[in-house]
Amino acid sequence: MTGLFAGTFARGGAAAAVSDDAWFRALLEVEAALARAAATVGLVPATAADAVTAACADPAGLDLATVVARAADAGNPVPPLVRALQGAVGERDAVAVHVGATSQDVVDTALVLLARQAVAEVDADLAAAAEVCAALARRHRDDLVMGRTLMQQALPTTFGLKAATWLAGLDGARLRLAEVVASLPVQYGGAVGTLAASSGAGVAVREALAADLGLVAPAVPWSTVRLPVADLAGALGAAAGVVATVAVDVVLLAQTEVAEAAEVGEGRGGSSAMPHKRNPVAAISARACARRAPGLVATLLGAMEQEHERAAGAWHSEWPTLTDLLTTVGSAAAWLAESLRGLRPDVGRMADTVAAAGEGSLAGALAEALTPSLGQGAAHDAAAEATRHARDTGRSLAEVVATRTDVDVAAVLGAAVPDPGEAGAQVDAALAEHEQLVEGTP
């Protein structure tokens, strides 16, 4: 993406990994590897394969402007690219150009190579965000913060557990992406998948091509069974969802009325109309980028229905869609890492909020104290009624509880001390799993 919004929606390294230049490099990398694979199995002379490899390594010697101009008329960029390569290497060595392949073989394999590189960039930003979450979880392991459910205050938790939950999500997204990348296959089947133009050596060429590019060699082409693309889409969409969840937490914690955390960044977050404002721009931008992902994922999943041996349109729709998906998820991850690096939790403010919201714990303690005599359901109702009575009369719940004669008031008030349960142990477990991932033993 270029232009006015590139700074927001083409953030991080993924955008460059799927640029037009990157696409050309990937297409040429596939053609060069195919020439070498054909030479490996004896279909073409090694000298011809070397000439093709050299031509692919020097795009300046190719007429790529003509390739771009003719790509639309050809339906994809491969036919004009093949002609440019043949012209570059000369008639003798042209025998090693595009051996036994069809356009889809080259485009699909190039798409896989691009995705692998772009996902590596996405992973780097997800890893950076995860490291910050791990540091926050360690530092704030036992610092109380008000838990919120359905956007309402609930019971106390710890900021350490909140950060550890973010960490587990980011680590999980990384593992899913790594699994998908490890299974990415080469594409090589020829015109209709029969390898008829490979002189009986097609399977061997496919295996050599996969080995050269570090990809999986499938038993058959995946020309219209688009599971590799769908798997990429699903894993990228899930990563975007995790990023968005962390980012929205940051945005909500930074609300003026909450003020339990803030993004710190020089010269960022101002308003054109209100000089006093300090917006959490990085988290907001991460959400904006992540919001684009579900629609792109849906387009890729919708394109899975493909007819016969090559789809008329559905296959073509994948190229820009997956490119955009990689770009926007990469941008979201880059923004999130930036947001978290500048995140400053306000532990004092968090503690004050918990103290001011102690009535939830007190209501729970009252219900627990009444359960032996009333039963669980009736005890819950009685505690709820006491809470309503306190609210209606403008008194604190502690004052209402103090007037009761059916419970040990001191015990109930003592039990209402904020209790984060097993938050700390869960933080420790998440950090241990993270360390295993960092060490390469998930």
User: Is residue 431, in this structure, part of any structural domain at all?
Assistant: no
Is residue 387 within 8 A of residue 395, CB to CB? The reply is: no
β pairing state of 144-149 and 343-345: unpaired
Asked if 307 and 291 sit in the same domain, the reply is yes
Asked if 367 and 303 sit in the same domain, the reply is no
Residue 327 confidence (pLDDT) above 80? yes
- Going by C-alpha positions, the residue among 18, 24, 43, 21 that lies closest to residue 98 is 43
Please confirm, yes or no, whether 176 is among the known catalytic residues: no
215-230 core/surface letters (b: 16 or more CB in 10 A; e: else): bebbeebbbbebebbb
| Least confident stretch, 83-87, 236-240, 404-408 | 404-408
Residue 118 confidence (pLDDT) above 70? yes
Asked if 330 and 400 sit in the same domain, the reply is no
Q: Residue 404: what pLDDT?
A: 86
Asked if 102 and 193 sit in the same domain, the reply is yes
Q: Residue 415: what pLDDT?
A: 66
Is residue 390 within 8 A of residue 399, CB to CB? The reply is: yes
CB atoms within 10 A of CB 296: 23
Residue 54 confidence (pLDDT) above 80? yes
- Rounded to whole angstroms, what are the CA distances from 142 to 249, 254, 360? 19, 21, 19
Helices and strands in the chain: count of H runs, count of E runs: 19, 4
Counting Cα atoms < 13 Å in the Cβ hemisphere of 15 gives 16
Asked if 345 and 366 sit in the same domain, the reply is no
Q: Residue 268: what pLDDT?
A: 53
Asked if 304 and 393 sit in the same domain, the reply is no
| Least confident stretch, 3-17, 30-44, 109-123 | 3-17
Average pLDDT, the chain: 93
pLDDT digits (tens, 9 = 90+) for 254-269: 999 999 999 987 545 4
Backbone angles phi, psi at 226, to 5 degrees: -95, 40
Q: Which domain holds residue 405?
A: 359-415
Q: State the Cα angle at 391 between 387 and 397, rounded to 5°.
A: 50
Among residues 25, 310, 339, 361, the one annotated as catalytic is: 310
Q: How far apart are CA 282 and CA 343, in angstroms?
A: 10
Cα dihedral 139, 145, 149, 155, rounded to 10, equals: 120
User: Is residue 249, in this structure, part of any structural domain at all?
Assistant: yes
* CB-based contacts of 348, cutoff 8 Å, min separation 6: none
3-state secondary structure of 344: strand
User: Is residue 40, in this structure, part of any structural domain at all?
Assistant: yes
Asked if 248 and 173 sit in the same domain, the reply is yes
Q: How far apart are CA 27 and CA 386, in angstroms?
A: 71
DSSP state of 192: S
Q: Burial of 11 by CB count in 10 Å (0-12 exposed, 13-18 middle, 19+ buried)? A: buried
Q: How many domains does the chain have?
A: 2
User: Is residue 434, in this structure, part of any structural domain at all?
Assistant: no
Is 0.75 surpassed by the pTM of this model?
Answer: yes
Asked if 324 and 365 sit in the same domain, the reply is no
Q: Residue 373: what pLDDT?
A: 86
- Rounded to whole angstroms, what are the CA distances from 406 to 117, 366, 414? 67, 10, 16
User: 2: pLDDT confidence band, cut at 50, 70 and 90?
Assistant: low
Please confirm, yes or no, whether 271 is among the known catalytic residues: yes
Asked if 160 and 75 sit in the same domain, the reply is yes
User: 89: pLDDT confidence band, cut at 50, 70 and 90?
Assistant: very high
Q: What is the CATH number of the domain that holds 340?
A: 1.20.200.10
Structure tokens at 11: 């953030």
Is residue 413 within 8 A of residue 362, CB to CB? The reply is: yes
Asked if 277 and 382 sit in the same domain, the reply is no
Among residues 139, 271, 373, 391, the one annotated as catalytic is: 271
Asked if 67 and 122 sit in the same domain, the reply is yes
Residue ending a domain, among 303, 335, 352, is: 352
3-state secondary structure of 27: helix
Average pLDDT over residues 72-99: 95
User: Is residue 324, in this structure, part of any structural domain at all?
Assistant: yes
User: Is residue 107, in this structure, part of any structural domain at all?
Assistant: yes
The set of long-range contacts for 213-219, using a CB threshold of 8 Å and a minimum separation of 24, is: 213/29, 213/30, 213/33, 213/109, 213/113, 213/186, 215/109, 215/112, 215/113, 215/184, 215/185, 215/186, 216/183, 216/184, 216/185, 216/186, 217/185, 217/186, 218/185, 218/186
User: Is residue 442, in this structure, part of any structural domain at all?
Assistant: no
DSSP state of 59: G
- Going by C-alpha positions, the residue among 274, 290, 271 that lies closest to residue 122 is 290
Average pLDDT over residues 136-164: 96
Q: How far apart are CA 338 and CA 402, in angstroms?
A: 49
User: 398: pLDDT confidence band, cut at 50, 70 and 90?
Assistant: confident
Asked if 348 and 373 sit in the same domain, the reply is no
Average pLDDT over residues 378-384: 91
* CB-based contacts of 290, cutoff 8 Å, min separation 6: 240, 241, 243, 244, 247, 328, 329, 332
pLDDT digits (tens, 9 = 90+) for 292-313: 999 999 999 999 999 999 999 9
Q: Residue 276: what pLDDT?
A: 46
Q: How far apart are CA 433 and CA 437, in angstroms?
A: 6
- Host H or E run for residue 321: helix 314-341
* CB-based contacts of 7, cutoff 8 Å, min separation 6: none
User: Is residue 440, in this structure, part of any structural domain at all?
Assistant: no
Distance of CA 441 to the CA centre of its chain: 21
Backbone angles phi, psi at 387, to 5 degrees: -65, -45
